[in-house]
Amino acid sequence: MFSHDKRSPSKAVKTELLFLEALAKRCPDNDRVLRPLGDLYTAAGRFKDGLLVDQQLVGLCPQEPEVWYNLSCSLALVGDVEAAIEALNSAVDRGYCDGEWMVDDEDLASLHGDPRFKAIVERLTPTTPSNK
């Protein structure tokens, strides 16, 4: 397991970041540019930059559950647990449904012990009728 604050981007990631940053300057509202840019920022340990991109994506694509999920991850990575829980609820409200991924997602590790996080996961866990 790695520590989020010790991520060191490879030369290839740095090159791709430079390319996508330049492209984002030319096409600042293009979600097809911003999505991989946000992912790369996170992979490179540039969590505040990733958060800015995710906030922009939520503004551009407010009904997409994945952008809310990614926003939750970014908020958790920068230590804003309250906002991360709110964004995660927004993701689920909009259709995000992979509770198993949430539980295993290291980006959300700071939320895993929070009862509100557990309640969100429980919302996604199918219940089986009991035999009475």
Is the residue at 78 inside a domain?
Answer: yes
The number of folded domains in the chain is: 1
* Residue 122 pLDDT level (bands cut at 50, 70, 90): very high
Residue 119 binned pLDDT confidence (cut-offs 50, 70, 90): very high
3 in a structural domain: no
Q: What are phi and psi of 8, to 5 degrees?
A: -125, 115
Q: What whole-number distance in Å separates Cα of residue 108 and Cα of residue 15?
A: 27
Scanning the structure block, which residue is given the tokens 């309250």? 82
Average of per-residue pLDDT across 24-33: 96
CATH number at residue 86: 1.25.40.10
Q: What is the residue type of 14?
A: K
* 94 within domain boundaries: yes
Q: pLDDT class for 128, splitting at 50, 70, 90? A: low
Across residues 82-99, what is the average pLDDT?
A: 97
Q: Are 20 and 40 in contact (CB under 8 A)?
A: yes
Range of the domain at 106: 9-124
